[in-house]
């Protein structure tokens, strides 16, 4: 028995990458009748906030490997959910805590995953795994109690996120109303997080709409502003959505604010292109420089795609990643629209970039808001 089980019996399991790399561990979370779970493997460097990460819809289609060794140590609670359920395909950890210690905890991480049908593997050498993904990029994987040959076949049959519309699997099917602030905001749900809705709800009455909502239907709601949320998958696979965002921007009278996938879609609507990063940005400690002031912000990030710098037209780069130079923010010079690649709403943090929601409010003010959307 592995020392990482701390006396809890777990079945031996394997993690197998599509390139043939194999990692030993033990199964936890939901049982799969065939002993196989699959997805695209990515690593996240957060030290805390594992529940927020696991319930972030942006991880649809992916298996999350945590670089921090101890996961589950403070349990879970409903307040920290970013969505009603996890959309990730699995969880990889080094040392799973079976006895969480926190006054906020209402249960263990394992029971949470079991309840939502998500499988995991613990006892994995996540340091070696992270180095492998860093050197070879995010790759499809399979893990579970099945034979190594079956897991390898499953991993090689698993498609990456490239070219896939995963937004349609996480967006709301109907309109939702949130918040009661004085402004009126329409929020496109591409996989929107609860933390975003809390920030927007403090300033506005928020109408959350499905990702497929036409621009004309949004304009008919007479919003003071439009918000483009985070979400999973390849922005290049969302041509129809991009077309509707382009129509909103060309309308010219409604301020637009995008985060993460919303940033990529806004950039595409403005004429830019996107590309896939080797292993993405996933973590809570990425340094970003705000070009207007030179100030460095520590940011939370979760994305596999980025905006190509040589494709920008009538846009101004407002933020840059200091690790690799990736564009982290932009502003249209022709329309009231701006966006950031990272997560200013991040829970549990950092909160260095929360000012961006105030900038959105100020932009709405400058274009005639508020219209009295709240009570």
Give me the active site residues, please.
260, 343, 345
Rounded distance, CA 270 to CA 246, Å?
7
The per-residue DSSP string of 104-138 comes to: T--B-HHHHHHHHT-EEEES--HHHHHHHHHHH--
| Both tokens assigned to 256 | 């637009």
Neighbours of 279 (CB within 10 A): 19
DSSP helix/strand/coil, 298: strand
Report CA-CA distances (Å) from 93 to 50, 67, 190: 11, 8, 28
Round to whole Å and give the CA distance between 161 and 41: 10
> What does the block give as tokens for 98?
């079976």
Q: Measured between alpha carbons, how far is 208 from 64 in angstroms, rounded to an integer?
A: 27
Q: How far is CA 323 from CA 45, 285, 287, in A?
A: 14, 11, 7
Tracing tokens 């041509």 back to the chain, one arrives at 239
- For the record, the structure tokens of 38 come out as 């699959």
């Amino acid at each position: 028995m592995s020392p990482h089980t701390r006396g809890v019996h777990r079945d031996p399991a394997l993690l197998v990458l599509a390139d043939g790399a194999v990692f030993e561990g033990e199964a936890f979370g939901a049982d799969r009748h065939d002993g196989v779970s699959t997805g695209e493997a990515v690593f996240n460097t957060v030290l805390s906030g594992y529940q927020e990460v696991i319930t972030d819809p942006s991880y649809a289609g992916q298996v999350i490997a945590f670089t921090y060794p101890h996961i589950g140590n403070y349990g879970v609670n409903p307040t920290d959910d970013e969505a009603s359920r996890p959309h990730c395909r699995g969880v990889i950890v080094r040392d799973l805590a079976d006895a969480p210690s926190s006054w906020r905890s209402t249960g263990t991480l394992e029971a949470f995953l079991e309840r939502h049908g998500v499988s995991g593997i613990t006892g994995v050498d996540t340091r070696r795994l992270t180095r492998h993904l860093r050197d070879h990029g995010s790759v499809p994987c399979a893990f579970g109690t099945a034979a190594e040959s079956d897991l390898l076949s499953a991993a090689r049959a698993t498609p990456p996120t490239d070219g896939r519309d995963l937004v349609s699997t996480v967006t709301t099917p109907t309109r939702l109303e949130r918040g009661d602030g004085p402004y009126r905001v329409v929020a496109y749900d591409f996989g929107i997080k609860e933390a975003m809705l809390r920030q927007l709800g403090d300033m506005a009455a928020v109408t959350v709409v499905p990702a497929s909502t036409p621009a004309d239907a949004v304009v008919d709601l007479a919003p003071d502003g439009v918000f483009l949320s985070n979400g999973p998958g390849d922005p290049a696979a969302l041509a129809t959505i991009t077309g509707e965002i382009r129509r909103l921007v060309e309308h010219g009278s409604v301020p637009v604010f995008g985060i993460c996938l919303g940033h990529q879609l806004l950039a595409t609507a403005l004429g830019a292109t996107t590309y896939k990063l080797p292993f993405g940005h996933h973590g809570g400690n990425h340094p970003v420089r705000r070009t207007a002031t030179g100030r460095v912000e520590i940011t939370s990030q979760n994305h596999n795609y980025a905006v190509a710098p040589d494709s920008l037209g009538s846009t101004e780069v407002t933020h840059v990643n200091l690790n690799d130079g990736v564009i982290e923010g932009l502003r249209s010079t022709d329309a009231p629209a701006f966006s950031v690649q990272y997560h200013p709403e991040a829970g549990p943090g950092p909160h260095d970039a929360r000012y961006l929601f105030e900038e959105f409010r100020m932009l709405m003010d400058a274009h005639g808001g508020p219209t009295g959307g709240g009570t």
